[in-house]
Structure 1
C-alpha cells in the first residue's frame, strides 16, 4: 500500500480552518505577513523548519501532529516519542507515581491519548469492581470500562449525564487532534447502549457545580468529581499525551466510606461487601 503524503501547506490550512481562524488572524498571531502565509498554504512558498514550528504552536497543534507537519515539509521530527519506561523519563515516572500514591485513599488513573490505562493507584479498584476481565486486560481502555455494558456502567446511578460528559470530552479531543483512531473510538462509544437518555444540555441541580459520577458499591451510593492534570511544557510526545485523572469524594459520606474501605484492606479485593462502619 502506498501512503500519499499531503503537502505541508494543505495540512496547515486544514489546521487553521479547524481552529476557525482566518489567514489574517493567524498571520497577526504568528507575526508573519498574510501574503507569505497564503503562499505557504498554496505551496507557492516552502516554509522553514522554524516557520512550521511557529505556525504549529500558534495553531495549538499537538506535538505528534507537529512532527507530521515537519515531515510533510521535508524536515526531521522535532519531538521524540519515548516509552514511559525509558530511563530518560525516570523523573516523570516518579512524579506520576507520587501523585497516584499521594491521592490515596481516593482513586486516580493515568491514561494516554487514546484513553488506555497506563497506571492507577490501588483505590481505583473500588470503581472497576465487577467489570468483565476482558475489559481489564491490557491495554485496558478506560472509556470502554466506563461505558461498555460489561464494564462499570451497570453500577452507575446517573448513566445518561455521565455518559454525555465523557462523550463531550472525547468529541473535543477529536476536534482538537483530528485523529482517526480517536474518531473511531468515539463512534464505538456512541454505539454502546445506555440505561437512560443523555441530557440535551447539562442543567445543574440545586447546589451542583460539576457533573458527578454516582456509582453503587455494595449497598452504598458513592459520588465523585474529578480533576485532570497534564505535564506543563512537555517536549516529548509521550509525556504530552499523558493525563492524570484524580477522583475526589463529592460528599463527606463518600470520603468516609473510602477511608474505611482502604483501612479495612479492601484495595484490589473483588467483592462488593459493605464496608464496616
Structure 2
C-alpha cells in the first residue's frame, strides 16, 4: 500500500504535506503509511485515492494492497443491470446520426457504434471487423482506415499520444501490448506526407478521411461518465466526430436515408 501510494503521489507531483492538507491528515501520517509503519483505514485509502485522482480500477488495487476488499464492482456491459446504460448510449449514438459516433472501453474495443461509423468502415479488411472490433487497430492498420486518412501522420501522432497519456495513469500490460502493436504498423503509401488543410483553417486537429473520392473532415470529441461507481463504466468513452467543414456536414446529410 505504501509503495503504491508513493508512486501515485510522485506521478501527481504532490508532496506529502500537500496531500495531507488535501486529505485532512498530517504529513507524518502520510509518511507512516508510505513506509508501512501505519495501516490506513478504508475511508482514508479512498480519501487519498480521491485527492490523487486515481482511476477507479487502480483504487481497487490500492484497497487490496491495504488489506481491504475492492469497493468498486466490475460489471460486464451485457449484464442485465446495465440495460439502462446501454439503452441510453444507443439513444445518444442514434441521435447523433448522420455524424459518426461510437463507444469504446479502456482497451479501445468498440462497444457500440452508429451508422455514421459504419459508413466510414467501408473498405476496411474483414479481418479487422471481427469481434472484438478495436478502434486503434482499425484506424492505424495498413488494411484499415490508414490509407484513406489524408493527414495520417498527424492523426497517428495524436492517437499514440492519447494512448501514452493513458499508460501514464494505468499499469496495464494489455494496453501496453496494444500500443506496441499499433505503433509498429508500417505507414501506408503517402502516410508520411503532411496534408494541406486548404481554405478551412482548423480550430483543432481534424481527421481528414476520403470516402468515395470525397475528403471529409472531422473534429473528435471524447466524453466520459462523471463519478463512476463501477470499473467498467469508469473506462467507457463516447467519441463523437463533429463535421469540421460545411461540406462534410452536407455530404453526410445527403447520404442519410
Over residues 164-197 of structure 1, what are the superposed CA-to-partner deviations in whole Å (9 max), with x where a residue is unaligned?
1111111111112232222222222221122444
Shift of 1:126: 2.0
1:71-150 equivalence runs, <5 A: 71-150=64-143
Shift of 1:198: 8.8
TM-score, normalised relative to structure 1: 0.87
- Structure 1 unmatched ranges of 5 or more: 1-7, 200-204, 264-277
Judged with a 3 Å threshold, the aligned counterparts in structure 2 of structure 1 residues 244 and 219 are, in CA distance, closer, same or farther, namely same
Q: 1:61 aligns with which of 25, 31, 54?
A: 54
How many residue pairs are counted as aligned between the two chains? 251
> 2: distance between equivalents of 1:215 and 1:131?
13
Retained in 2: the 8 A contact 1:115–1:143?
A: yes
Over residues 84-135 of structure 1, what are the superposed CA-to-partner deviations in whole Å (9 max), with x where a residue is unaligned?
1222222211210111010000110100001001010111112211111111
Over residues 2-56 of structure 1, what are the superposed CA-to-partner deviations in whole Å (9 max), with x where a residue is unaligned?
xxxxxx1111111111122221221122221010001101111111111111111
> 2: distance between equivalents of 1:246 and 1:161?
19
Over the aligned positions, Cα root-mean-square deviation in angstroms equals 1.6
The aligned counterpart of 1:153 is: 146
Shift of 1:207: 3.1
Matched, 1:237 2:231: yes
> 1: distance between equivalents of 2:157 and 2:251?
27
> 2: distance between equivalents of 1:206 and 1:214?
12
> 2: distance between equivalents of 1:58 and 1:86?
31
TM-score, normalised relative to structure 2: 0.93
> 2: distance between equivalents of 1:258 and 1:206?
18
1:1-277 equivalence runs, <5 A: 8-194=1-187, 195-197=190-192, 207-263=201-257
- Structure 2 unmatched ranges of 5 or more: none
Deviates more, 1:224-233 or 1:182-191: 182-191
